[in-house]
Amino acid sequence: MNSKDWPRVIVHADMDAFYASVEQLDDPHLVGQPLIIGPRSRRGVVLTASYEARKSGAKSAMPMAEALRRCPHAVVVPPRFERYQQQSEAIMRAFADFSPSVEALSLDEAFIDMTGALEIFGEPMQIGKQIQQAVLDATGGLQVSVGIASTKYVAKVASDFEKPNGLTIVPPHKAVQWLDPMPVSRLWGAGPKTVPRLQRLGLHTIGDVRRASPLFLRKSLGNMGAHFQSLANANDPRKVARRRVARSMGSDRTLLQDVTSTADIAHYLRRSADRIGRRLRDKGYRCFGVRVKLKTHDFRVMTRQVLLPAPTDSSDELYAVAFDILQQLRTPSEPSLKFRLVGLAAYDLVHEDDPVQLDFFSGDEFSGRDRSRSLEQALDEVTQRFGAGAVARAADLNRSSTVADTTPNLDFVADGLAMEVDPEHDPEHDPEHDYAHGQDYVPNEQEPSLPESDEFLDDWCFDTGSD
């Protein structure tokens, strides 16, 4: 193959059943087993399932109760985010050996621009094999699926084409023909609302969209029509951006019982603010951004975020901001709305070692903040020595544990939230999709009893460093 045939060489690499594969790697007993990663509570949500469990229909974002109904023999393993993050860093470093242009889309996937590298690494097939081997070596045995094409869109569709351990090369002159028979759900931007709309218009395959008259598409779909048609023609001029996954820390709590009152919601925000603040201070971070997320009993997600004039790592300040946001989120029209999840996240993190001078912000006007900060630091020390239960807020003392799980918020695409991801990249990765259509969730499930511990309260944290 001649490099002239490839105006650009774009690789998309995505780990196979990432969290589940990490668990299988670390515990050989789990190899070959149907595995579900998620909280042990039936009210929680499946983060991912091993390919063995997928055969029975378990999948990401499915309510745990439904996944266990479909796959009763599955082993449920609670997530270990720190470990996934560690492996993610190893994977991203391996990618960086192939090209300086690596665009991470999430912990387990990236675009790698290999244009001009055919002379060094060989033909696309060779490049793909080397990347798979590099990931295997860097992680101690994890598999990645790779797609190679001359546009980001086609590369991404290709990496998913033969999962797991797939390697799909789509040369530029074959791209259109290769896309033609695919279902329209493969078009970026065609989610659960758009797909039926396309089908009603008689557009079932990508080829149907490509051959449709532009006028018809414009009339029936507006600008979206032209966007889909250009994807169908394998046109996607977007460049691979050099980007790491954005740093953020958060804590989402799925509650055993829905809550309604602002005071109850605030209680969980307070606890999340304490945990996130502690964690920010522990790791030497402050955040500019604070985001609150609520999920209603019928799985509607409400989020709102604010940027602070100066970054903070104070739990009190996080809470104060979160409380303000909460009041804005609560609409008077729906005072009795019930919520099943309360989440708080700190994003736009800066590290004390970052070139931005944090000291700049500790002038007189912040001295009140600094006082509250030293108190928090003192409490951190107590917590570190005596455990998380040692310091409790007075308001918490007579509340029993009512949290089903604290899950990572990976619906980065849906809300553009936890990660800096262009929603266009991957609209399919919206874990709320199934919820939005919540057909098969049965809310009156008998809840298993939970230990009165923080076992399920893992925070999530995305920090793969900055460039």
Shortest distance, CB of residue 461 to ligand TTP, whole angstroms? 13
Q: How far is CA 51 from its chain centroid?
A: 19
Pick the binder of ligand TTP from 9, 10, 11, 14 (CB under 6 A): 14
How many Cα atoms occupy the beta-carbon half-sphere of 395 within 13 Å?
8
Q: Which residues are tagged catalytic?
A: 109
- Among the residue ranges 16-24, 110-118, 230-238, 317-325, the one whose residues contact ligand TTP (CB under 6 A): 16-24
- Among the residue ranges 17-25, 243-251, 323-331, 443-451, the one whose residues contact ligand TTP (CB under 6 A): 17-25
103: contact with Mg ion by CB under 5 A: no
Which residues, in sequence order, are CB contacts of 172 under 8 Å at separation 6+? Answer: 5, 6, 7, 149, 150, 234
48 binds, among ligand TTP, Mg ion, none (CB under 5 to 8 A by kind): ligand TTP
> To 5 degrees, how large is the angle CA 372–CA 311–CA 85?
105
- Among the residue ranges 14-22, 239-247, 262-270, 325-333, the one whose residues contact ligand TTP (CB under 6 A): 14-22
Shortest distance, CB of residue 67 to ligand TTP, whole angstroms? 12
In 201-344, which residue ranges form alpha helices assigned H by DSSP? 206-211, 214-221, 223-232, 262-283, 315-329
Q: Which is nearer to Mg ion, 166 or 289 (CB)?
A: 166
Q: Name the residue number minimizing CB distance to ligand TTP.
A: 431
142 binds, among Mg ion, ligand TTP, none (CB under 5 to 8 A by kind): none
The CA-based dihedral angle spanning residues 33, 35, 40, 43, taken in that order and rounded to the nearest 10 degrees = -130
In 34-190, which residue ranges form alpha helices assigned H by DSSP? 51-54, 64-70, 81-96, 118-121, 124-139, 152-159, 175-179
Nearest to 278, CA basis, from 19, 107, 457? 457
Q: Name the residue number minimizing CB distance to Mg ion.
A: 109
Pick the binder of Mg ion from 23, 66, 103, 108 (CB under 5 A): 108
- Among the residue ranges 106-114, 215-223, 383-391, 452-460, the one whose residues contact Mg ion (CB under 5 A): 106-114
Site string for ligand TTP, 423-452 (x = CB under 6 A): ------x-x---------------------
431 binds, among ligand TTP, Mg ion, none (CB under 5 to 8 A by kind): ligand TTP
459: contact with Mg ion by CB under 5 A: no
Ranges within 335-394 binding ligand TTP (CB under 6 A):
none
Ranges within 45-84 binding ligand TTP (CB under 6 A):
47-48, 60-61
Long-range contacts of 225-234, Cβ-Cβ distance < 8 Å, separation of 24 or more: 227/189, 228/184, 228/187, 228/189, 228/190, 228/198, 231/153, 231/187, 231/188, 231/206, 232/176, 232/179, 232/187, 232/206, 232/207, 233/176, 234/149, 234/151, 234/153, 234/154, 234/172, 234/175, 234/176, 234/179
Nearest to 314, CA basis, from 277, 288, 360, 270? 277
Q: Do the Cβ atoms of 112 and 13 come closer than 8 Å? A: yes
147: contact with ligand TTP by CB under 6 A: no
19 binds, among ligand TTP, Mg ion, none (CB under 5 to 8 A by kind): ligand TTP
In 32-72, which residue ranges form alpha helices assigned H by DSSP? 51-54, 64-70
277 binds, among Mg ion, ligand TTP, none (CB under 5 to 8 A by kind): none
Question: Which residues partner with 452 through β-bridges?
Answer: none
Q: Among all chains, which residue has been given the structure tokens 């039926």? A: 196
318 binds, among ligand TTP, Mg ion, none (CB under 5 to 8 A by kind): none
Q: Which residues bind ligand TTP (CB under 6 A)?
A: 14-19, 47-48, 60-61, 108-109, 163-164, 408, 410, 429, 431
Q: Which residues bind Mg ion (CB under 5 A)?
A: 14-15, 18, 108-109
